[in-house]
Each structure stands twice: as structure tokens, then as C-alpha cells.
Amino acid sequence: MNVNQHTPMASPYGQPQPGYGQPNYAPLDGGYPASYAPYNGPASAYQPGVPPQGSARGPPTSAPPPVSAPQQYNQYSHSPADMQNGPPPMTQAPPRPAGSQPYGLGGGQPSYPQHYAPPPTMQQVTNQMGGMQLTSGPPTPAGLGYAPPHSSQPPISTSYQSAPQPSFTQAPPPASSAPTQPPPPNAPAASQQYYRGPPPPPQPPFNSALPPTSQQQFLSSAPPPPSQQTFPPSFSSSIPPPSCAPAPPVSQSQQPFSTPQPHFSSAPPPVSQPGFPSGPPPPAQGSFPPQPTPSSSQPGSVPPPGPPPTSVTSGQYPTPIQHQQQPPDSQPSPYHSGPPPPRFQMPPTVNHLPPGPQSPPGPQGPLQQPPSPQTGYPPQQNGAFGQTRSPQAGYPGPYPVQPNYGAPAPAPAPAAPAQKRLDPDAIPSPIQVIEDDKAKTNEPFVTGVRGQAPPLVTTSFHVRDQGNASPRFVRCTAYNMPCTADMAKQSQVPLAAVIKPLATLPPDENPPYMVDHGEGGPIRCNRCKAYMCPYMQFIEGGRRFQCSFCNCVTDVPPHYFQHLDHTGKRVDCYDRPELSLGSYEFLATVDYCKNNKLPQPPAFIFLIDVSYNAVKSGMVSIVCHELKSLLDHLPRENPEVDSVVRVGFVTYNKVLHFYNVKASLAQPQMLVVSDVSDMFVPLLDGFLVNVNESRQVIESLLDQIPEMFADTRETETVFGPVIQAGLEALKAADCAGKLFVFHTSLPIAEAPGKLKNREDKKLIGTDKEKSLFQPQVGFYNNLAKECVAQGCCVDLFLFPNQYVDVATLGVVPVSTGGSVYKYTYFQAQTDQERFLNDLRRDLQKHVGFDAVMRVRTSTGIRATDFFGSFYMSNTTDVELAGLDCDKAITVEFKHDDKLSEETGALMQCAVLYTSCSGQRRLRIHNMAVNCCSQLADLYRNCETDTIINYFSKYAFRGVLSNPTKAVRDTLVNQCAQILACYRKNCASPSSAGQLILPECMKLLPVYLNCVLKSDVLLPGADVSLDDRAYLKQLISCMDVADTHVFFYPRLLPVMKLESGSLPVAVRNSEERLSKGGVYLMETGLHLFLWVGASVQQELLLNLFGTPSFSQIDSSMINLPVLDNPFSQRLREIIDSFRAQRSRYMKLVVVKQEDRTELIFRHFLVEDKSASGGASYVDFLCHMHKEIRQLLS
């Protein structure tokens, strides 16, 4: 969305947009700072929601005409102070209603009013809303109770609980905002609390308030044009409708942006007013007219638009632009300031922006004051800003950005009128979105409604399965799929689902129930073989059922017959998981087993490299020592019972040593196989044993292995035969299982699968680069195939000191559903903990074997492509030798026919697997999404995180066959098309210079930029080929949560900590870091603790036990255990972070200005990267240019 929609947009949807606009756009100008200050003081409570918006818009609009701008500013400043309380509620209220209203159809309104009661205006709004809803209502309500949701926008879905309106709030963003809003006063308070904890008091209020509001507005804004229909229904929408009319003006206003300032000026004010005229007007003006209206307008129109247009027009209308910008800045500032760091920046910006200030000087005065106090920061920020801006500046005009974008960014600066800088705070902020989502999610997510987008992955929520799979199992890119292939093609939005079949559920959610349909096996559709699920329609009194996937009618077996009730549902519907839940398991019969034989319990085989390097690095002794205790924790389904998993041990260098650890032996026996050219397993009985029975022998073995090889001088290793050995062992034992390979070096010994060192930096960036990602020899592909056939999953732990060719070694693990762990330059002291934790987790985690996954879909779409760690021998079956709880598979769908809006699109993912106890099972996940014939609906129900997950996997696979540059360009291109399509078809008409982003996708550019900058696609000089290959395979099986944090790391200021809640994250940019601060960054793979150079002694004492910055030992791998609440809490946080991720993150303490800071900076993904990746701002500009090109 961003930029351009200053006010105009806002005005129509004022509310929604504002949220966005503010945060996103605000950054553009210095304006923010100003607003901040004022806000802080006065309206802290309110500011959040409304003020920002209002102000933001105001300014932009006004901006053009200095005069107007000032006014707006004034208003703003004032508004925060004065009106905030009043107006915000207004705006907020509407939004909620929107969400709630839909549901409320009937009684909803009343309820709302109550909620909003406080603000009278609200009622009005609600009324409006109500009206809207009603209209919308009809369609939705449809026959079914759920109907409403369907018909209406997603938010509606929440409707079910007509009674509990609050719940609705969740629905879409608006909902969330709603909650906060209802008690406008409360909201602020709450927000304050939040923020109080952290740092600047002023900010908190803003953030809290703003985000919600902004989002709402935003959302609304986004939809407005296209959705008008929906929109109105949705919520504040009520307002919109009326506003709708105004909306256009808004857009116009935007346009004016570039050209006629006057419009703006006029527009904004009018807009806001008009928007609310009915209800809001009074309050708006008084309290914060801006808030309601402006807010809305802001988001949409907001600063962002400013810049782009500026860029375009800049030459022509330098001045106006400036103004605009300024105002926006100021406006945004308030909002953004709300968030976090921006605030500080704000002030400086203000300073910088003389132009802006000029107009508003008077009014700003107050604003400025606040900034002044903050001065401490400003300077830094200024500096930061200056930098960032400069590029921005360039941005507007020439869009030199593009080039930057690709790779090394030539300084876009040229154009650079400082004025035009795009303020980072003005562009969509991930943090904001995340926080908004968190804030609005306070009720369990109920999956019963079709096409309802779940909360973000960053939000913790409870899920209630009512017919669709939990988002923990399945997440879709779009919850409202286009009906036709044409639409899909037009939008370019990937239709994909990220499925994590065995995902671990939080303890308070029930794991899938087990269903046993008896000897006949699960009941399935005769034609498409879909499994019994809630979508099946029973007909003819229950004697037959119609498959909702293929419409085939199948007889119900006698033993499964049940009568139907008056609604056509089976009477036992709620007694049977397969008829009422989205996820459940079937007990498979022997027909579902390999060779028609019930499977044996699986086996784990440990294959340990004992060459010189392995022994010397300490790996061997660590593994052996750890295994002794770890073997007691083999996976089991019933914790009361011993695991049935058998274990076996092999060590190897250039020959393999198998061990006979039969219980009856006094001592283990070693069997050396030196004929590695033709691998075989030398023994059967005694190789795979039950741990408890052979415990003594095993312990004796593990004690002796390090001793035996302590003096080894063998440096060569083999690799292919090692896996062959494990595979053969499993074959011999006729069971599935998992190999744990602990390997150190490039396998150069004479044997199958021997490799050469082919790392050649010169190839990077050339067309031949792709060959480096392809396996060196075909041997491993064939081996992988065999492994899959046997259900042999391979987990590879690498301890390389040099190039080991991960691209080749990883082939088997990746194809068998295994994992690769890499510990470069492994040293026992520093890496032991990480390795052991990984090993423990890897060993203990829930895992299934010999799995086959099949995704069935409604007629009309088809699963066409799959991404992840698996093997496919045909086009439909995903074969996974092993499938653990951390592995996700991304499935892409394509149309092969039309879908109907009525029935939506159904998908059923069935995974047939052998559990760790040796039971054959089918896990079924059902998912239903809506279908739409309007593109707007599609854009309103997307999930950016999932899209990014898909894009990253798609791109990373692309590097195998295309030059990385081409892959990057493809990504940018597709992204631009998505956004351009939105702009063209859904956004309200506005100047081409405006960058308008769909609410759901406003983070797409920033996240996409992170993907483009990743080491795989854009390697720095110090990134080895191994690292890239490693990341590539790692991403391929990540779920949405993992990719999210991987691409956009979580950066928490930890100067102040409270128990029970985490500090609000800050954006990944150096300018957000305070010299006096301490920040914790989590990327899913790394954990950094960044310590500013001028951190207070007290903090250092609390943290490190040393008062001096220089005495901090940056080589520490764990924080010292100190007995103070701060230290305890921080360590708690670190522990909880680690617990969330599938891989243990080693803590790296980064001192500012220290050598290691380079690495840390690499993860500040909004900044320009050393390897040439564009900064967020630059990229956004580039993206905008791309979009404009597409549009023209």
C-alpha cells in the first residue's frame, strides 16, 4: 500500500488507511517527529489510533498548500492532545463495528453500540455499519449460520458467534482494532502500559493505538475501492460507503498530490469531514477529525504516496512535493512514533524538513518541543535518516533505485532532493503489522468458517478445530481463491498452501483424534479416493454420500450408516472426528502397508565419522557421550512405555565399522567392512537392538569408540557407502528408520560417491553458478531414490573445516525428508551446546516414516507443484522416507477449471505414514477456502508470510536451473505484477504516481526484499558455497513461522524487561539501534545480543556482571547467570526463543563497533546489505517503479 495515498485514500476509508498510512507512510517525512512530541504529551492515550491518521492525512493534503498543512498539523498536534480521546473512539468504533457488525447483523448492532457506547459517535457509526451490514448481511447470512461470513468479507466469518461480538474483532484487522477502540480510553491505557515498559513513554501510546487503528483503516482502505461492496459491510465500512463517494475525491486528492496541491489541501479536510460528516464530523473535527477521517485517509494516501509522486513529479513540483512530504512526515510521525524508534527520528526529521515546518511552524511549535527533549536521539537518527533518505531522495526522481536493487546499488542519491526522502517510518512496518495482529487476536481462532485468514504466525493464539485444519497444519497464501484461471493469472498471486502435517501442537490443543473404520479401512470416495471428511454430503437418508471433491456418489457401508437429522447432517456428526474436524487420523489397514505387511517398528542408526578431524574436534567423544543418555529418550507415543525404536551403530573413516551390540555379548564386537565399493551390511542380528536390552553393551561401546580412534591418523572419509550401509541395514531388518550421520569432510576416499573440491568463487554470478547447486555426481540421486523406497530417512550433521559440498551431500537428506545440520569449524567448547541441543531435539522429535502425502482438491484446481524435503516418483504423490514435526511442504495449486463461489475450494491432504511405534496411519488435514470472482476479495484474504514462504522456496529451487540474477528478476517481476494488478483492479483510481498496496500485502515488498537479499540469491563475499547450499535446503522445508523469522529477524530492545510480556520488537535497521541500548536478535538460526557502546553501567552489571563495556567478553556463548531480575528475565526470554525453534540458536554477543558486528549487520534486513542488497526504502521505490511500468 503505501505511499501515495495521502489523505485522499484515507478519507474514504479513512479509518483503515490511516493505520497503514501512518505507519508506513509516515516515515517519509520528518513530520513524524513533530507529531510525536505532541502526542506523547497530550494524547498519549489516544494518539494511537486516530490522531496519527488524521494528522497524517491532514498534512499531506494540506502539505501542498503550506497553509493547509499547518492547519492540519495544528489539528494534529492539537488533536492528539484534545481530541484523541474523543475522536479516536470514533474511528475505532467504526472499524469494529465493521468487523462485528457483519455478524451482528441482527443483534450485532446493539451489542456494538454498547461496546462503543462511550463514544456516542460510535453509535452513529455503528448504525451506519449496521445498515451496511444489513445489506451485506443478506448475502452472507445465506441459509447457513455461517453464511454471513462467506458472503461478507472474511471478517464476517467471525460472525458465527453472533453473540460474542468481541470475538469478531479478531476477524480481520479491523476487528482487532475494534477491541482496542471500543474503550478508546482503555485502549490507550493499555497501549501505554505496553510501551511504558519499554522505552519512551510517548511512543507506547502511539504504537498501541496507532497500529490497530491504522490497520483497520488500512484494511478498509485497501478494500474500499474494489470492495466497496464488501467494504461497507465489513465495518467502519459503514462509514466508507458514505465515504465512498468521498473516497474518489480522496484518490483525487492523491493525484492532486503530484500535481495540484490545492486538491490536497482541499481534499484532506473535506475528505475527513465528509467521511465522517455524518457521525464523526463533530467529534472528528473537535476531537480529531483527522483521526477518523484523516486516519483513514492517511493510511491510504499517506506520505508514501507522497514520495512516489514526488519522484515523478518532483521535478515539476518540487515545492509542493516537499510540502506534502513534510506534512506526511509529520503526520506519520505521530503514528509511527507510536511504534518505536521512529519517534526519535521524527524530531530530527522535523528539523530537516524546513519546508514542512515552515508551513506548520506555528502549530508545530508544540510538536517540535517534544522532539527537542528527545534531542539526544535525534542527532543519531538524523544521521541515519540522512543516509536513508538520500537514497530515497534519488528515489523519487530517477528511480535509480532499481539498479541498486538488483545488486550493488549505485547511489541513487543523484536525484536526491533531500526533501523527498522516503521516511522509513512512513513505509509499511512489519513490526506494526505484527503488533496489530497480536493486539487484535485475543480469542481462540475457530476454524469452522471457510476462507477465514488465521492470525499471523507471529501471534500466539489458540485454535479450535471446527472443520478445517488448524493453521498450525495448513496455511494458505490466499483464503479466497479466484474462481477462474484467468483471474489467477491476472493477479499473479501464487495459490499455495504450506502444510506441516505432523506439526507439534501446543499442550492446550488436542492432537488429531484417531479414527478406526475397522477392517475395511477408512471410508473413501469411490472415484477420487478422498477420505471421509466434514465436506462429504450425506444423501438419501444417509445411505450414500456425495464427495465434495469430485461429486461422485458413494454408498455408505452398512457398518458406517447413520441417520440424518433435519438439516441433512448425520446424527453422529459430532461424535465422529472425521465428520466434524479438520484434522484427524485414520488407522490404516494392511492394505495401506508396503508389501501388504504390517510394518516393523522403525530403527535409528548412528553413523559416526571417526577420521582424524572428527576425533580431534571432539565431535566423536561428544556424540558418544551424549548418546548414552539420549538413548533413553527415543521417540515414543506413550511416555509410559519404552520406545520400540531399535538402534544400531556404525563408525567410519574410509572403511566402515559396524558394531554388534547384542544383549548376550559381554563386549561389543566390531565388524570392519573395507570393501566400500559395494556396500553391504555384515550382520543382522545384534546390529539393531533394543536399547534397554543391550544397554550395557551399548554403553561399553560408546565408552570405547573415542578411545579406539583416539590415535587415528586416517583423514580420508567416504560418504556414499555410509548411507548405503544404513540403507542396507534397514533393508535387511525390513523396517523403516532414520540415519544420523555425523560427518566432517569432503568424501575423497575411493568409493562410490567420491567427490572433488569444486568450490570456485569465480563462477558466482555467472550462468554457471547454478551448477554449483546441483549435485556433483548422480550417485546420490539414485541413492536417495533407494532410501525413499525403503523409508530410510537421513539426518546429516556436518562438522566441516572446509568445503564439503553440501549441495551434493545434502541430496539424500533433502530427498528423504531428513535434515542437514552444519557446524562449521566445530569446536567442542563453543559449539557443543548447540550441537547437542540440535541432536537431542532431532532425536526426540515426533517423526513418521515411509510416508506418502497426497493432496486432493476440488474439481477446478489441482496441486501442481510441491516444495520441500521429499522425493516424487510421479506427479501426485509426495514420498517422504521420514516426516518429522518440523517439516513443512509447500504445495502450489493451479486451476484446471472453474471454481464456484458457492462451494469454495476444498483441499484434503492425506499423509500415510508409519508412526514411531510402528503403526500405520493416515493423517488427514482438510481445508476449505472461499472462491471469489472479484479480485478485491482475493487481495483482502491473502497471507503475505505464506506467500513469502512460497516465493522463497520457489526461488531457491530456481537457482538450480537459472542464474540467480534471473531468479531475482522473476521474483521482483511477479511481485510487481501482483501489486500492479491490485492497483489496477482494486485500488481506487488515483494518480499513477501513488504506490498503493493491498492491506494484506503491504509487507510484501519488505519481505520480498529480504528474500532477494538472502545469502542464497545474493551472496556476500564471505558466504561460502556450502553456506548457501545449506540455507537453500534449510528453507525448502521450513514452515511459515520459520521463514518469517528467517527473512525478517526479530529484533527486541531489551533495555527494560517485564515479566510476562516481551518488549515490542523494532525494525531491522541500524538506525533503530540506540547506542545506549541492548538488543536481542533472533533469526531462527542465530541469536545475537547487540550491546551499544554507551550502555549504562547498571545494565551491563545486571547483564554481564561487569561495569565496563570493554570488559565484555564477546566470545561468551551464554549469558552469565546473575542473580538479578533483569538477567533472569533475559535468559528466560532467550530460552523461550530457543524453545520455539527447531534448531538451537547459539548466542553471540555483539559489541557495537566490534568485528562481529558485521555479521550482525547482515541481519539488519531493512538496511542496505554489504553484498549489494537494496535497503527497504530503495526497494520499495524500485518496486513502485516496476509497478508503474506495468501500469502504463
Partner 1 sequence: MSTYQEFIQQNEDRDGVRFSWNLWPSSRLEATRLVVPVSCLFTPLKERPNLPPVQYEPVLCSRATCKAVLNPLCQVDFRAKIWACNFCFQRNPFPPSYAGISEVNQPAELMPQFSTIEYIVQRGPPTPLIFMYVVDTCLEEEDLQALKESLQMSLSLLPPNALVGLITFGRMVQLHELSSEGIAKSYVFRGNKDLSSKHVQELLGLTKPAAAAQQGRPYGKAKVLINPERMFLQPVHRVDMNLTDLLGELQRDPWPVPQGKRPLRSTGVALSVAVSLLEGTFPNTGARLMLFVGGPPTHGPGMVVGDELKTPIRSWHDIQKDNARHLKKATKFYEGLANRSAGNGHCIDIYACALDQTGLLEMKCLSNLTGGHIVMGDSFNTSLFKQTFQRVFSKDYNNDFRMAFGGVLEVKTSRELKVCGAIGPCVSLTSKDACVSENEMGVGGTNQWKLCGLGPSTTLGMYFEVVNQHNAPVPQGGRGAIQFVTQYQHSNTHRRIRVTTIARNWADANSQIQHIESSFDQEAAAVLMARLGVFRAESEEGPDVLRWLDRQLIRLCQKFGQFNKDDPTSFRLSESLSLYPQFMFHLRRSPFLQVFNNSPDESSYYRHHFVRQDLTQSLIMIQPILYSYSFHGPPEPVLLDSSSILPDRILLMDTFFQLVIFHGETIAQWRKAGYQEMAEYENFKQLLQAPLDDAQEILQTRFPMPRYVDTEHGGSQARFLLSKVNPSQTHNNLYAWGQESGAPILTDDVSLQVFMDHLKKLAVSSST
Cβ distance to partner 1 smaller for residue 550 or 732:
732
Stretch that binds partner 1, among 216-224, 385-393, 542-550, 684-692 (CB under 8 A): 684-692
- Rounded least distance, CB 690 to partner 1, Å: 15
Q: Which is nearer to partner 1, 632 or 675 (CB)?
A: 675
Pair type for strands 920-932 and 889-895: unpaired
Question: 19 near 212, Cβ under 8 Å?
Answer: yes
C-beta of 499: minimal distance to partner 1 in Å?
A: 39
Q: Is 245 in the site for partner 1 (CB under 8 A)?
A: no
Q: How many residues bind partner 1 (CB under 8 A)?
A: 29
Tell me which of 147, 593, 663, 670 binds partner 1, using CB under 8 A. 670
φ/ψ of residue 905, rounded to 5? -115, 130
**Residue 672 found at the interface with partner 1 (CB under 8 A):** yes
Would you say 540 or 678 has its CB closer to partner 1? 678
**Phi, psi (deg, nearest 5) at residue 688:** -100, 120
In the set 372, 466, 562, 669, which binds partner 1 (CB under 8 A)?
669
We find the least distance from the C-beta atom of residue 698 to partner 1, in angstroms, to be 12
708 touches partner 1 (CB under 8 A): yes
CB of residue 708 to partner 1, shortest distance in Å: 7
Please give the DSSP secondary-structure letter assigned to residue 74: I
Q: Which residue shows C-alpha cell 528475565? A: 1129
Q: Edge to edge, what strands does the sheet with 1146-1151 contain?
A: 1050-1053, 1078-1082, 1086-1091, 1146-1151
Closest to 17 measured CA to CA, from 266, 268, 312:
268
Q: Tell me how far, at minimum, the Cβ of 799 lies from partner 1, in Å.
A: 21
Q: What angle do CA 428, 1045, 945 make, to 5 degrees?
A: 55
The yes or no reply on residue 662 touching partner 1 (CB under 8 A) is: yes
CA 209 to chain centre: 23
Helix (H) or strand (E) holding 79: helix 79-81
Q: Is 893 one of the binding residues for partner 1 (CB under 8 A)?
A: no
Residue from the set 114, 358, 704, 1140 that interacts with partner 1 by CB under 8 A: 704
Cell numbers linked to 1078 = 541492548
Q: Single out the residue of 635, 668, 904, 1077 in contact with partner 1 (rule: CB under 8 A).
A: 668
Alpha-carbon Rg for the chain in angstroms: 30
Identify which of 59, 256, 305, 22 has the alpha carbon closest to the alpha carbon of residue 1181.
305
- Which residues in 974-992 are b (16+ Cβ under 10 Å) and which e? bbbbbbbbbbebbbbebbb
| Closest distance to partner 1 from the beta carbon of 622 (Å) | 20
Q: How far apart are CA 217 and CA 7, in angstroms?
A: 12
- Interface residue with partner 1, options 508, 640, 711, 1123 (CB under 8 A): 711
Among 666, 1021, 1121, 1139, binds partner 1 (CB under 8 A): 666
> Which one of 629, 674, 1110, 1192 is in contact with partner 1 (CB under 8 A)?
674
Residue 254 contacts residue 266 (beta carbons within 8 Å) = no
Q: Are 667 and 697 in contact (CB under 8 A)?
A: yes
Least distance (Å) between residue 803 CB and partner 1: 22
Residue closer to partner 1 (CB basis): 442 or 669: 669
- Separation between Cα atoms, residue 74 and residue 68, nearest integer Å: 10
Indicate the residue among 676 and 1103 with the shorter CB distance to partner 1: 676
Task: Give 603 or 971: the residue with its C-beta nearer to partner 1.
Answer: 603
Q: Is residue 540 left, alpha or beta, with left meaning phi > 0 and alpha meaning psi from -120 to 50?
A: left
Q: Shortest distance, CB of residue 1146 to partner 1, whole angstroms?
A: 33
Q: Which window, 340-348, 526-534, 657-665, 774-782, contacts partner 1 (CB under 8 A)?
A: 657-665
Using the contact rule CB under 8 A, the part of the chain among 380-388, 676-684, 798-806, 1054-1062 near partner 1 is 676-684
H/E stretch holding 587: strand 583-587
Return contacts of 520-524, CB within 8 angstroms, 24+ apart.
520/557, 520/559, 520/589, 521/586, 521/588, 521/589, 521/591, 521/592, 522/578, 522/586, 522/588, 522/922, 523/556, 523/557, 523/560, 524/554
547 or 733: CB nearest partner 1: 733
Query: Is 182 within 8 Å of 115 (Cβ atoms)?
Result: yes
Can residue 508 be called a binding residue for partner 1 (CB under 8 A)?
no
Strand 861-867 and strand 737-743: pairing?
unpaired
* Site track for partner 1 across 727-746, x = CB under 8 A: -----x--------------
Interacting span for partner 1 (CB under 8 A) from 437-445, 681-689, 1041-1049, 1146-1154: 681-689
The residue within the footprint of partner 1, chosen from 319, 375, 537, 667 (CB under 8 A), is 667
Q: Residue 683 or 872: which CB sits closer to partner 1?
A: 683
Q: Is 129 or 688 the residue whose CB approaches partner 1 more closely?
A: 688
Is there binding between residue 726 and partner 1 (CB under 8 A)? Answer: no
Site track 1171-1190 with partner 1 (rule: CB under 8 A), x = hit: --------------------
**Nearer Cβ to partner 1, position 23 or 752?**
752
**Quick check: 678 binds partner 1 (CB under 8 A)?**
yes
Give 391-417 as a 3 state SS string: HHHHCCCCCCHHHHHHCCCCCCCCCCC
Note whether 163 binds partner 1 by CB under 8 A.
Answer: no
How many CB atoms are closer than 10 A to CB 1121? 9
Q: What is the nearest approach in angstroms of partner 1 to the Cβ of residue 626?
A: 20
CA distance 716 to 750: 9
Work out the number of other CB atoms within 10 angstroms of the CB of residue 565. 12
| CA dist., res. 58 & res. 55, Å (int) | 5
Residue carrying the nine cell digits 554457471: 768
Residue span binding partner 1 (CB under 8 A) among the ranges 247-255, 502-510, 531-539, 708-716: 708-716
Among 671, 763, 777, 966, binds partner 1 (CB under 8 A): 671
Residues 872 and 864: their CA atoms lie apart, in Å, by: 12
Query: Measured between alpha carbons, how far is residue 166 from residues 73, 176, 551 in Å?
Result: 34, 9, 38
- For 1058-1162, list the strands marked E by DSSP: 1078-1082, 1086-1091, 1146-1151
DSSP code for 942: B
Residue from 485, 593, 665, 748 binding partner 1 (CB under 8 A): 665
Please, what is the minimum distance in Å from the beta carbon of residue 673 to partner 1?
5
The smaller minimum CB distance to partner 1, of residues 685 and 760, is found at 685
What minimum distance in Å lies between the beta carbon of 778 and partner 1?
A: 23
Q: Exactly one of 582, 602, 686, 860 binds partner 1 (CB under 8 A); which one?
A: 686
CB atoms within 10 A of CB 1001: 24
Give me the least distance between CB of 710 and partner 1, in Å please: 10
Considering only the stretches 319-327, 367-375, 683-691, 841-849, report the one whose residues sit in contact with partner 1 under the rule CB under 8 A. 683-691
Tell the smallest beta-carbon distance from residue 649 to partner 1 (Å).
11
In sign, the C-alpha dihedral spanning 261, 262, 267, 269 is positive
Smallest separation (angstroms) from partner 1 to the CB of 452: 55
Cell numbers representing residue 139 in the block: 448475502
Residue from 239, 673, 739, 885 touching partner 1 (CB under 8 A): that is 673
Q: Which is nearer to partner 1, 486 or 678 (CB)?
A: 678
658 counts as binding partner 1 under rule CB under 8 A: yes
Q: Which of 749, 797, 795 is nearest to 653 (CA)?
A: 749
x/- mask, partner 1, residues 597-636, rule CB under 8 A, reads ----------------------------------------
Q: Write out the residues near partner 1 by the rule CB under 8 A.
A: 655, 657-659, 662, 665-675, 678, 680, 682-686, 701, 704, 708, 711, 713, 732
